[in-house]
């Protein structure tokens, strides 16, 4: 009995000390108080509808690969019936706002879905298409950095983690999204920064919805000139052939970025080299939001032009 009393007293004292720490921390982090700079309030995730899920929160893990590879939250659902899928990196995601994909569907009767993944190259989305037997009529691929021979290390880790490992990663971030909006108000953070921004992804269209994303205007630049290297041509030809075996027409495009990337002329040269169509909206007058991705207004303008040209492709006009 004495031992139990000691344990109970120790637990009660620990709880009392923790409560005192929380109350003191919350009081000292109020504006104008000594620890105000250590107060980092992270936002509560708000979903616009039931078909959205969070893939990036408070600077934590990027979960696009995990959701799509395991089809968590029915992440691949919209791709099963898509006429057009878009492949590429996060630049493609910022260039395809949801409202433009919906407008494209309403205007043409064609379903569009984005399989673009941050930092990813062609092999991994092709594996996703094979795993879920996705057979769109057209796949529009961003050319800059996409035609590589292997998937990234992050994609390999997602595959090797399996379903249970992926589920653990997803729930870790879900719990963080529940806890930090409350904990950030009472627990000071002196070293680790918790950015307010987060990313949602739609299972119906694959589009992102960036929330509280930083906005610093920059001008896109085009660095790739001349003829595409033979290595790039060979990898692009392999992607073309892989998609053709699934009855999918490859189409190339160039998404502008502020750090130098593809150019419309270079994209058309690569398309001519492998014998596929290219859709290359002009980059003049567009702006980036963080020197890498298109800002919301420029993304809207780019997507509108891109989708208009995609809707005119011969492979989509054939019924």
**Structure confidence at residue 141 (pLDDT):** 97
Mean pLDDT (the chain) is: 86
Please give the DSSP secondary-structure letter assigned to residue 62: -
Report, as an integer, the average pLDDT of 38-48: 75
Write phi, then psi, for 57 (nearest 5 degrees): -145, 135
The three-class DSSP label of residue 23 is helix
**Structure confidence at residue 260 (pLDDT):** 66
**Structure confidence at residue 269 (pLDDT):** 93
Write phi, then psi, for 286 (nearest 5 degrees): -95, 160
Please tell me the distance from the alpha carbon of residue 206 to that of residue 226, in angstroms, as a whole number. Answer: 33
pTM for the whole thing?
0.85
Does 181 have pLDDT greater than 90?
no
Ordered DSSP codes for 97-134: -HHHHHHHHHHHS--EEE---TT--THHHHHHHHHTT-
**Structure confidence at residue 209 (pLDDT):** 94
Does 11 have pLDDT greater than 90?
no
Does 3 have pLDDT greater than 70?
no
Does 26 have pLDDT greater than 70?
no
**Structure confidence at residue 14 (pLDDT):** 67
Does 208 have pLDDT greater than 60?
yes
Please give the DSSP secondary-structure letter assigned to residue 44: P
For domain 52-153+212-313, which architecture applies? 3-Layer(aba) Sandwich (3.40)
Listed by start position, the domains of the chain span: 2-38, 52-153+212-313
**Structure confidence at residue 101 (pLDDT):** 97
Give the pLDDT confidence of 241-250 residue by residue, as tens digits: 999 999 999 9
- Please, are residues 138 and 249 in contact by the beta-carbon 8 Å criterion? yes
| Integer angstrom CA distances of residue 69 from 117, 136, 159, 161, 238 | 11, 18, 7, 11, 22
Which residue carries 């109020």 as its tokens?
Answer: 30
Q: How many helices (H) and strands (E) does the chain have?
A: 10, 8
| Integer angstrom CA distances of residue 228 from 8, 232, 252 | 72, 7, 13
Give the pLDDT confidence of 120-150 residue by residue, as tens digits: 999 999 999 999 999 999 999 999 889 999 9
**Structure confidence at residue 28 (pLDDT):** 53
Of 207, 193, 231, 170, the closest CA to residue 42 belongs to 193
Give the pLDDT confidence of 96-114 residue by residue, as tens digits: 999 999 999 999 999 999 9
Give the pLDDT confidence of 259-312 residue by residue, as tens digits: 767 888 899 999 999 999 999 988 778 888 888 888 899 999 999 999 999 999
| Integer angstrom CA distances of residue 180 from 57, 63, 83, 197, 220 | 10, 18, 40, 13, 36
């Amino acid at each position: 009995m004495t031992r139990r009393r000691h344990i109970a007293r120790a637990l009660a004292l620990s709880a009392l000390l923790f409560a005192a720490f929380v109350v003191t921390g919350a009081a000292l982090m109020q504006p104008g108080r000594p620890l105000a700079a250590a107060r980092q309030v992270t936002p509560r995730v708000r979903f616009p509808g039931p078909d959205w899920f969070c893939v990036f929160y408070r600077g934590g893990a990027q979960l696009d690969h995990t959701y799509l590879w395991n089809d968590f939250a029915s992440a691949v659902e919209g791709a099963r019936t898509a006429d057009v899928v878009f492949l590429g990196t996060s630049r493609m995601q910022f260039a395809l706002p949801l409202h433009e994909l919906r407008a494209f569907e309403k205007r043409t009767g064609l379903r569009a879905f984005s399989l673009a993944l941050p930092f990813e190259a062609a092999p991994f989305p092709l594996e996703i298409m094979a795993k879920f037997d996705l057979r769109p009529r057209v796949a529009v691929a961003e050319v800059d950095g996409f035609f590589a021979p292997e998937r990234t290390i992050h994609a390999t880790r997602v595959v090797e983690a399996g379903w249970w490992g992926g589920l653990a990663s997803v729930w870790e971030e879900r719990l963080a999204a529940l806890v930090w909006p409350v904990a950030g108000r009472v627990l000071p953070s002196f070293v680790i920064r918790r950015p307010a921004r987060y990313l949602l992804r739609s299972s119906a269209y694959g589009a992102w919805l960036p929330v509280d994303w930083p906005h610093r205007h920059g001008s896109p630049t085009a660095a790739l000139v001349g003829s595409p290297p033979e290595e790039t041509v060979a990898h692009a030809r392999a992607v073309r052939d892989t998609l053709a075996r699934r009855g999918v027409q490859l189409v190339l495009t160039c998404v502008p970025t502020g750090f130098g990337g593809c150019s419309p002329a270079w994209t058309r040269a690569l398309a001519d080299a492998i014998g596929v169509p290219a859709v290359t909206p002009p980059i003049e007058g567009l702006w980036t939001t963080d020197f890498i991705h298109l800002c919301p207004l420029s993304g809207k303008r780019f997507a509108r032009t891109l989708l208009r040209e995609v809707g005119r492709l011969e492979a989509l006009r054939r019924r």
